[in-house]
Structures are given as C-alpha cells and as structure tokens.
Amino acid sequence: DAKTTQPTSMDCAEGRAANLPCNHSTISGNEYVYWYRQIHSQGPQYIIHGLKNNETNEMASLIITEDRKSSTLILPHATLRDTAVYYCIVRPRLTGNQFYFGTGTSLTVIP
Amino acid sequence: GAVVSQHPSWVICKSGTSVKIECRSLDFQATTMFWYRQFPKQSLMLMATSNEGSKATYEQGVEKDKFLINHASLTLSTLTVTSAHPEDSSFYICSAYTGQGGTGELFFGEGSRLTVL
C-alpha cells in the first residue's frame, strides 16, 4: 500500500524551479524514498532516490527532512518536457522489492 | 539507465481470447520483475511479482488464473491475460529491479495498451 501523500496537482513557470513535496510520516528507519515520473501513456521514468541524506543527480535534487517524514523533489529549471505525473514512493521494508504507487502530483509547466 | 522492453505496445483483441505480453530486460539480468496495470487517469496498481524460476506472487484481489505470469529466464517475463473481457482493457506495464536491498532502481517498460472489444 502507498505510504505517501502528495498534492494532486501543481503548476510551475518554465525556467523556474519546481518543488514537489511528499509526506511520508510513517516511514521506517531503513526505507528509501524514490521518485518517478510518468509522461502521458509512457512507462514511469526513474528520477532519484535517497535514504537520509540529500541527493542530487543530473535530473533533480532530493531534499529529505531530518526526521525523514517528508521530502521535496526539486527540478532546478523546469522545461515544458517536465510536464508529467510525479510519484513519490517509499519502498516497503519487509515485503521485498515491491514498489507501490500513490496518486502522484500532476505537474504542469507553463510557458 | 537499464532498458526494459515490452511487446506489443498495443493490442486489440476480441472478448474471450487470450493475449500475451512480453517483458524483456535488454542489458541486465532481472531475477525479479513486476507487472502493473493502469486505468485511465489512475495510478499504477501492482498486480504481481514475477520471480525467475518460481511462481509469481500476486497482490490481493488479482486473479492468478486470469493473469498468468511466467518468468522463463533472467531476461524475460510474460503476462497472459486469459479469456479477456472489455473490463480487462487497460495499460499494462512491466518493470525490473536492478539492485539488492534498497539500493537499486526500478526500470519500467514502455507499457502495453490492451483493448478488448
């Protein structure tokens, strides 16, 4: 079952940073936070994941609060191609490698 | 990143027929693959975990006799929708996990859109 809460939708101006929040208040100590996005009618695309520390890669940055109860995905310079549904996933600890998707945030980048 | 390929990308079939969807990991071996189903404007729903060389593990509420999963090799898993009906029309997506513990990544196929007439 999904263990995350995300806003249903967000808008962001092209060229600006997009900050997508995720609440995972029941996260366990060794559960990772993953972010994926899905562009319409395609398979989801991996973005980033982390455990405790903030992470950055060529696509985005992941900021995890010290208590690990929430995180924020940051797209530093949003483009129109970043319009997608963004999913924050907490990977279950006891049930193997399964990934359960919540409802996600529909991000619209506006020209 | 790793590449997961699905085939066919879309399929239309008559009610009562069976449809097979293939999922291949092209550049890595995947001992575990996952099958998801997605209805329009909804999130992905995990259907089952496909384990190489053993029986698949189905999520609660998913009919194992309806959705047959075979993980014949470390690079191939198949989903067969048996006796398909219009309510089985959906977007089916497979994925494969590349790591151990919590350190790996889950890569997804392009999805297969099934329409049952």
How do residues B96-113 score in pLDDT, each as one tens digit? 887 655 566 788 999 999
Q: How far apart are CA A36 and CA B78, in angstroms?
A: 24
Confidence of residue B1 (pLDDT cuts 50, 70, 90): low
Among B37, B43, B95, B110, the residue to mutate for chain A (most A Cβ within 10 A):
B43
Strands (E) across chain A are located at 9-13, 18-23, 33-38, 45-50, 55-56, 61-64, 70-75, 84-90, 105-110
Q: Is the pLDDT of residue B19 over 90?
A: yes
Burial bucket for residue A58 (CB in 10 Å: 0-12, 13-18, 19+): exposed
Chain-wide mean pLDDT for chain A? 91
If contacts are CB pairs under 8 Å, which of residues 27-86 in chain B contact chain A?
A: 32, 34, 36, 43-46, 49
Backbone φ and ψ of A16, nearest 5°: -95, 165
- pLDDT digit string (tens) for A52-79? 889 999 999 999 999 999 999 999 999 9
Average pLDDT over residues A34-49: 93
Judged by a CB distance cut-off of 8 A, whether residue B92 touches chain A is no
Average pLDDT over residues B81-91: 96
Q: Is the pLDDT of residue B49 over 80?
A: yes
Chain-wide mean pLDDT for chain B? 90
Q: Is the pLDDT of residue A2 over 60?
A: no
SS (H, E, C) chain B: CCCEEEECCEEEECCCCCEEEEEEECCCCCCEEEEEEECCCCCCEEEEEEECCCCCEECCCCCCCCEEEEEEECCEEEEEECCCCHHHCEEEEEEEECCCCCCCCEEECCCEEEEEC
Average pLDDT over residues B45-74: 91
pLDDT for the residue B92: 97
If contacts are CB pairs under 8 Å, which of residues 45-104 in chain A contact chain B?
A: 45-46, 49, 51, 87, 91, 96-104
CA distances from A27 to B9, B29, B33 (A): 36, 30, 24
Please answer whether residues B34 and B56 qualify as being in contact, where contact means their C-beta atoms are separated by less than 8 angstroms. no
Q: Is the pLDDT of residue B51 over 80?
A: yes
pLDDT for the residue B99: 66
Taking contacts as CB-CB distances below 8 angstroms, the residues of chain A near B109 are 43
Higher pLDDT, A21 or A90: A21
Look up residue A92 and give its DSSP letter: P
Please answer whether residues A71 and A6 qualify as being in contact, where contact means their C-beta atoms are separated by less than 8 angstroms. no
